[in-house]
Amino acid sequence: MFRFAYPYMLYLLALLPVLAVWFHYTRIRRLKKLSEFGDVQLIEQLAPDVSTTKPVWKFYLFLSALAFIILGLARPQMGSKLQEVRRKGIEIMIALDVSNSMNAMDIQPSRLERAKQVLSKLIDRLEDDKIGLVVFAGEAYIQVPITADYVSAKMFLSNINTSIVPVQGTAINKALEMAAASFSASDLKKVIIVITDGEDHEGDPVAFAQQLHEEKGILIYTIGMGTPEGSPIPVNPLNPYDFKKDREGNTIISKLDEETLIKMAAVAGGEYIPGNNAQAGLNKLFDKLKKIDRKEYEAKIYADYNDQFMYFFAMALLLLIIELIIIERKSQRWANFKLFEFTLNSFNKNVAGRK
């Protein structure tokens, strides 16, 4: 099991392309200024010891070393001991809507991104519960099987987008069915949290939620993402004014269907939580989950982690040493070594000797 103890340090990697752009920008400016004094090729001949490629090599060696330093600061660790522990908790399956309507931006930065933020914070606050993740649009797919490994759950969550499910639509029934089938056979209390804008045109999620609660005792909580007023659905991320249209060419407005989500939660022993205020909604949801009776279960977790940061720092040090060794001037030893002239002279001597 591999993980970063301080994953937030990885955001510093975003500085690397910025530094690369800055470096090439300054080189281009330097060449332009140099051209003001005369022909660049003639100036290069007047300064034969100046290398044009070595500064580039030195910069990218430095940039690579910086990348390894950042990775080392994130403290990479490898799980070395799988230990069986006893915990007390419940099983939670998240059903996350990834249909195109979740790209609507009536909640900033978008419905889906806000939902992912809520989920990430929820996972951070969980302690001994098991968690799983189902994504759905026109079809439903298991993204994370029920697990006590929160690190893996957050890793998969970060990669979710609306293109992950090829069949579009909002089939809440299929999501509920897939989530219910993903629970283990243990007697732990089962909870499904549905995060969606509620626009379902393919079934009766209220009746199905009631059936799951009555037959299997599953509690269902719903989180509504969006506003009742609604918002257009972006089609092209590069063009914020390109929205989805119907057959008549009218812009489609996606609205939050609170009524359906409220009814679903009411018939399934749960509660509806608006997603507009992420922090308040999260606190309310977490308080509700804490009140559910928890039972003991066995889980296998990585108890010990070995730090691996020293290898990254060692690689960074090696690259920096190489960068320091390389001088920016051309090497006279290699500049005086004329390979083709040497080969031609040797050839002529051999021919003369044979004559």
| Sign of the dihedral defined by the CA atoms of residues 254, 257, 258, 261, in that order | negative
User: Picking from 28-32, 44-48, 177-181, which range would have the lowest pLDDT averaged per residue?
Assistant: 44-48
28-32, 166-170, 235-239, 287-291: range with highest mean pLDDT = 287-291
pLDDT confidence of residue 335: 47
41-97 residue pLDDT tens: 655 555 556 566 788 888 999 999 999 999 999 988 875 565 667 788 999 999 999
pLDDT confidence of residue 39: 60
pTM equals 0.64
Confidence of residue 329 (pLDDT cuts 50, 70, 90): low
d(CA 201, CA 169): 8
122-149 residue pLDDT tens: 998 988 899 999 999 989 999 999 988 8
pLDDT confidence of residue 27: 84
Strands, E assignment, the chain: 2-4, 76-89, 91-97, 130-136, 140-147, 190-196, 219-224, 231-232, 253-254, 272-274, 295-307
8-12, 64-68, 322-326: range with highest mean pLDDT = 64-68
pLDDT confidence of residue 313: 93
- Residue 135: closest CA among 179, 181, 97, 173: 97
d(CA 52, CA 43): 12
246-277 residue pLDDT tens: 888 888 899 999 999 999 999 999 999 998 77
Average pLDDT over residues 291-296: 90
Calculate what percentage of the chain has a pLDDT beyond 90: 42
Confidence of residue 203 (pLDDT cuts 50, 70, 90): confident
Q: How far is CA 283 from CA 97, 119, 155, 289, in A?
A: 21, 12, 23, 10
Enclosing H/E stretch for 21: helix 15-35
Q: Which domains does the chain have, with CATH numbers?
A: 2-77+308-349 (no CATH), 91-293 (3.40.50.410)
pLDDT confidence of residue 201: 65
Average pLDDT over residues 11-39: 83
pLDDT confidence of residue 30: 78
Helices and strands in the chain: count of H runs, count of E runs = 12, 11
Q: Residue 108 in contact with residue 114, Cβ under 8 Å? A: yes
d(CA 6, CA 10): 8
Q: Map residue 230 onto helix, strand or coil.
A: coil
Confidence of residue 245 (pLDDT cuts 50, 70, 90): confident
